[in-house]
Chains A and B, each alone.
Chain A
């Protein structure tokens, strides 16, 4: 992937497939590191599946025998000297507290660090395809501020107007751009 934001778009599809109602996308930046964490309350995976998902030749899909989403994400982290962590509780083991946490640490100072890229575009793409039963909470924290967005909050304001309405998506993109601009101006 050319941008980490594309990896995020890809990884979050796993949470959607897992039937998650709440997905948290958390980006934490320091001067030297970036940590990307996606937390969901989907159906989860058993221990054997968790062991297998970083193997490119493992997939639950039937169309092909390879699954590259998590291996790509892991590679992108490890090539900077970072790592990928994965924890999951399947619904079959715990009906009340199930889901998956995938977290990757990147060293931004590494020459092999892939830039985050257009994260706003990733969020708008996810929101465009979001069904009524799933909400996404996004947070991107910097030492000097924070950018955030919560689809539950947006839905409450919109009433019955769908999140996928083009005017809404344009507004969300502009809103994120304005929030990021504030972080940059805090820096100066």
Chain B
């Protein structure tokens, strides 16, 4: 580890902001990271969600987390979006490019990208 000083700077910058992150109304973006997901390309998808949530400025209302296999391996990479008070959205066959659009239109804009959801995907 070479950048301990830069880490300390992040700590100073983030002081006070941290408490705001864990809002109760937050949206959860959950990426499947079991063997099936990883083999199908979930790692770049997860990293794209992390980057896009930060880049598009929605980190105060959405968190990205990881989960195991949910049993639909043929549809991996699978991403589920949980919004308080709404039905879960299941995105399938995800890519980093699709992730950027989901963050822009669904997380930011409030409208799920229907064409990427499980009901609209033929494999």
Contact = CB atoms under 8 A, between A and B. Distances in A.
B69 A63 contact: yes
A64 B69 contact: yes
Contact of B33 (A9, A160, A179): A9
Given A13-B33, A129-B66, A158 B7 contact: yes
A6 B69 contact: no
B94 interface: no
Interface in A128-173: 128-129, 148-150, 153-154, 157-162, 164-169, 171
Contact of A175 (B2, B8, B34, B59): B2
A157 B7 contact: yes
B43 A122 contact: yes
Contacts of B33: 9, 13, 125, 129
A9 B1 CA distance: 20
Given A6-B43, A162-B21, A168 B59 contact: no
B89 interface: no
Contact of A168 (B7, B21, B35, B53): B7
Contacts of B50: 128, 164, 166, 169
A97 interface: no
Interface in B65-113: 65-66, 68-71, 73
B101 to A, nearest CB: 19
B34 A13 contact: yes
Main secondary structure on chain A at its contact with chain B? helix
A165 B35 contact: no
B94 to A, nearest CB: 15
A128 B66 contact: yes
A68 interface: yes
Given A63-B70, A72-B39, A171-B10, 20 more contacts: A6-B38, A9-B38, A10-B35, A67-B35, A121-B44, A125-B33, A125-B43, A128-B50, A128-B66, A129-B66, A148-B1, A150-B1, A158-B10, A158-B11, A161-B11, A162-B18, A166-B53, A167-B13, A169-B50, A171-B3
27 contacts: A1-B38, A9-B33, A10-B38, A13-B33, A13-B34, A13-B68, A63-B71, A64-B69, A67-B35, A68-B35, A69-B34, A72-B35, A121-B47, A122-B43, A124-B47, A125-B33, A129-B66, A149-B1, A150-B1, A157-B4, A158-B7, A160-B18, A167-B10, A168-B7, A174-B3, A178-B2, A179-B2
